[in-house]
Amino acid sequence: MRLVLASTSPRRRDLLARIGAVPDRIAAPDVDEDVRAGETPRAYVLRVAIDKAHAVPREADEIVLAGDTTIAVGRRILAKPEDEADLRRMLGLLSGRRHRCLSAVCLIDTGGKVRTRLSDTIVAFKRLTQAEIDWYVASGEGMGKAGGYAIQGRAEAFVRYLSGSHSGVVGLPVFETRALLESAGYRLG
């Protein structure tokens, strides 16, 4: 059985390596990640992970693994920032507040069965000063990241509380991913 990772994220590859899973093939899925009207954060992140898994062609002996992560403040979904102004807006929303990081994993097994898991992590940021926001925006680290921050980088200094999966906030919850791989019969290294 061969593992296909439907992601070009180096963070997801690194997290897979922690559990002894090395993709045999990596493919970049092309999916619409726009939020649909009335879509809840949970429904959104699960839909996108499933769509990513389906977007990658699968051979008979392959399993496809895909993931998606989003940040939610209440029912508001914070996607990737469009520009620095959007990043500043997001950091302002997260400042001094709890938010949820939802990380969905989807696996399509060799028989075509779709399996999903969802990690729900509560994260609380300290109240950010304007200087801290300026420093973080200037670093460029938050661009291209759900919610505008990378917990595995400089933004970890803003986290005063976390309950759940740290790896899920990074981009792939290893506990849930391991369970999916094992349920599909994939042998971990």
Residues of the domain holding 177:
2-183
Identify the pLDDT of residue 105: 98
The number of distinct structural domains making up the chain is 1
Per-residue pLDDT, averaged over 119-133, amounts to 98
Q: Is residue 170 part of a domain?
A: yes
Q: Is residue 166 part of a domain?
A: yes
pLDDT at 189 over 90: no
- Mean pLDDT rounded to a whole number for the chain: 96
Check if 32 is active-site: no
Q: Is residue 72 part of a domain?
A: yes
Q: Is residue 188 part of a domain?
A: no
Identify the pLDDT of residue 166: 96
pLDDT at 95 over 80: yes
Name the DSSP letter for residue 34: P
pTM: 0.93
Q: Is residue 85 part of a domain?
A: yes
Q: Is residue 189 part of a domain?
A: no
Q: Is residue 57 part of a domain?
A: yes
34: tokens are: 């726009």
Per-residue pLDDT, averaged over 157-172, amounts to 96
Distances (CA, A) of 119 to 29, 41, 125, 157: 21, 12, 19, 22
| Catalytic option among 51, 68, 109, 120 | 68
Residue 80, domain CATH: 3.90.950.10
SS3 of 90, please?
helix
Per-residue pLDDT of 17-60, as tens digits, reads 999 999 999 999 999 999 999 999 999 999 999 999 999 999 99
Long-range own/partner contacts, residues 114-117 (CB < 8 A, 24 or more apart):
114/50, 114/53, 115/180, 115/183, 115/184, 116/46, 116/49, 116/50, 116/180, 117/173, 117/176, 117/177, 117/179, 117/180
Per-residue pLDDT of 131-160, as tens digits, reads 999 999 999 999 999 999 999 999 999 999
User: Binning pLDDT at 50, 70 and 90, where does residue 89 land?
Assistant: very high
